[in-house]
Amino acid sequence: MNISMVQIHTTKAQLGMTTTPSRLSIEQPQATVDIRQPKAEMNITTTPGKLSIDQTQAWADMDRKHIFQRIKEAASEGRQKALEGTGRRAAEGRELADIHKGGNAIAMQAARSNTRNYETGLAWVPSHGSVKINYEPGDVRIDAQARPVENHTRANKPIINYQPGSVKVQLKQYPSIDFQVVNKTI
């Protein structure tokens, strides 16, 4: 007995895919920078110091006086000596007028006129404290006013370009089924 056989041939479907990749580009533009720093306002006011030095007494101690001072002192000393001399002569005249009362007025007057007083000792030239120094300190005033920073900086947005990709799917080979009968007997 012959048995018929059926042969089945199948062909699988084949898919084909075509892809286009997506593209992405990003650019970041630099920020627009606009910064300014205004100058600060500053005022400086100074009052100068004053130094005064008076050496008049020191020069006088060294006998280096101004001519006006010398004239003034000579006039004062001359007046004083004239008054002393007038007083002394008046007193001596009274003594001589009273000679009849007794005493030795002429010998006493002679002894007084021969006595001289001399001063000796150490002296510092110029004397201590003869230079007068006076100092008035100066003053400095600083008035500064800072100005704030003017910042007008802007950040720029990024530039983004995007092209989407694509995927195309196609059927490269269709599926099929083929039936065949082998050893066919009828």
Domains in the chain: boundaries: 1-29+161-185
Q: Which of 93-97, 154-158, 169-173 has the lowest mean pLDDT?
A: 93-97
The CA dihedral of 118, 120, 126, 130, to the nearest 10 degrees, is -80
**Strand 159-163 with 23-27, pairing:** antiparallel
DSSP 154: B
Contact 160, 25 (CB under 8 A): yes
Contact 61, 130 (CB under 8 A): yes
Q: Please name every residue paired with 51 in a beta bridge, in sequence order, or none if there are none.
A: 135
Contact 16, 169 (CB under 8 A): yes
3-state SS, residue 16: strand
Helix axes 67-97, 105-114, angle to 10 degrees: 160
Res 20: pLDDT = 92
Give the position of tokens 């000679």.
99
Average pLDDT over residues 142-153: 92
What angle is formed at CA 128 by the lines to CA 122 and CA 131, rounded to 5 degrees? 140
Whole-prediction pTM: 0.38
Closest to 56 in 3D by CA, of 123, 135, 133? 133
**CB-based contacts of 67, cutoff 8 Å, min separation 6:** none
What pLDDT band is residue 184 in, cutting at 50, 70 and 90?
low
Residue 154: both structure tokens together? 């802007």
- pLDDT one-digit tens code per residue, 103-134: 788 888 888 877 777 767 677 778 888 889 99
pLDDT higher than 70, residue 38: yes
**Rounded Cα–Cα distance for residues 11 and 8 (Å):** 10
> Which H helix or E strand runs over 56?
helix 56-61
